[in-house]
Structure formats: C-alpha cells, structure tokens
Amino acid sequence: MSRKNKLRKFAEILSFPNVFECYNAQQPALVGVDMTPIDFRGHWASQHFNNNQPITLELACGGGEYTVGLARRFPDRNFIGVDVKGNRLWTGAKDAMDSGLTNVAFVRTRIEVIDHFFAPDEISEIWITFPDPFPRSSKVNRRLTSPFFHDKYRKILKKDGLVHLKHDDPDFYEFTLETIREDAQCRLLYSNDDIYASPLEYPELELKTLYEGKHLAKGRTIKYVRYLIG
C-alpha cells in the first residue's frame, strides 16, 4: 500500500463513528470522531451500541472481515474488532458503515492495554484470528494465548468467558493447547487441527479472513480451539 493511500485512510478514519483509537499505550485513552476523548469502559453496550446485547471482541482483527462477518450472522450481539494498525481497521469499519451495521465497532490499540478500555464482566467472548504467531521463544509472551494475555482477558471476560482461536500455524496451535492444559482455570471445549477435513462443527467457522484465504491457497490446514477462561 502506498504511503499516500495510508495517509488518506488515516485521515478518513478520524471521521468514522465506529472507530476509536489509542495513540499512546503508555497513557491509555481512546478518542473518537475528530479526536474527541471518549470513555465507554463498562458502558459500551449502553453508550455506544445503545442496547444491552452481549459483546464479542475480535483481537488482531486485521481488516475486520471476521468482525463484520460475525455481526452480519449474529445481529443480536455486538462486535468490536481490535488491531494496532489503523489502515487495516479502515477496511472493516468502512464495510460496516456501507452495510448499515450498527452492531460493529473497532478499537485501534495495543492489546496489552485492553483492560483499560473494557470493564470486568463486560465481554462475553473473544475471537483470536490469525495473529502473529511469534515463533521465536524469546517472544512467547507476545502470543495472544499466552498466560500473560489470559490474565488480561480474565479482567474483562464474564465468568467462564468463551475464547476462540483460529489459525494455520501448528506450533501456535499446540502452544495454545498446552497453555490451556497447564491453566487450572481454563477448560478446553473443542479442538481440531484441520477444520475443513470434515463438516464444520460450528457454522461461524465458515467465515474467512484475508489471511486465511491466502493460507488455504497455499495448502495449509486451518486449526481451531474453543475454550473457557475461568
């Protein structure tokens, strides 16, 4: 993507009513349209979505294909995509607005500070779709299913909150299963190292991100883990 195109998207996203951004992870705070400060922590459903429907987060959402796809499939729920790249979020946010979807929002931030923007028991589910697997051992705590991030999720998820991982990387898949086994507060509900080898257990797995499409084109198998964080 050209620098000019990125700058255009950065400028446009400032006017999107469904996008909120954090510019400094050292001092976490969100701004909305025209850099207006906002604080929906504990009140996302009532103050932004204007309802009392449950909220699902998609972490490392990229272009937001899964966030928007889930919102279309489940109109009785709210969905928030989270990613650090604003030019990626532009795609999903624009799609949601063009489609008239009011149950979708996006937050640009580092996921390490996610608990600054959501209150305890505010989130019902988390989807983690094709994040950077961080294969080097020195970066293991940056994996989004590491104990470090599980502790973050516990601060915002409802009791026995549901977590979904969808990925192509076999090492990341096995790492996630090991993390679940070693955490007494986690409970594995389902795992599959090749979801398309047989009829899908869950229909929402039909949705595909841009990266998933690329992985499938290369012949990679897609893995899925569904578990509870107590």
Q: Quick one: what percent of the chain has pLDDT higher than 90? A: 87
Number of H helices and number of E strands within the chain?
6, 10
Residue type, 187: R
Question: Could you give the C-alpha distances from 195 to 167, 190, 208, in angstroms and in order?
Answer: 10, 11, 12
Mean of all residue pLDDT scores within the chain: 95
Spatial CB neighbours of 176, under 8 Å, sequence gap ≥ 6 = 145, 165, 225
166 CB burial (10 A radius; 0-12, 13-18, 19+) = buried
Q: Is the pLDDT of residue 111 over 80?
A: yes
pLDDT tens-digit map of 65-79: 999 999 999 999 999
pLDDT at 166: 98
Q: Is the pLDDT of residue 214 over 80?
A: yes
- Joined together, the tokens standing for residue 203 give 């229909």
Q: Which of 39, 83, 115, 132 is catalytic?
A: 132
- pLDDT class of 86 with cuts at 50, 70, 90: confident
d(C-alpha 46, C-alpha 10), whole Å: 28
Helix 86-98 vs helix 3-13: crossing angle, to nearest 10: 60
Say whether 132 is catalytic: yes
pLDDT at 9: 82
What structural domains and CATH numbers belong to the chain?
Answer: 40-229 (3.40.50.150)
Nearest to 149 by CA among 92, 172, 169: 172
pLDDT tens-digit map of 114-152: 999 999 999 999 999 999 999 877 788 899 999 999 999
**Rounded to 5 degrees, what are φ and ψ at 112?**
-60, -25
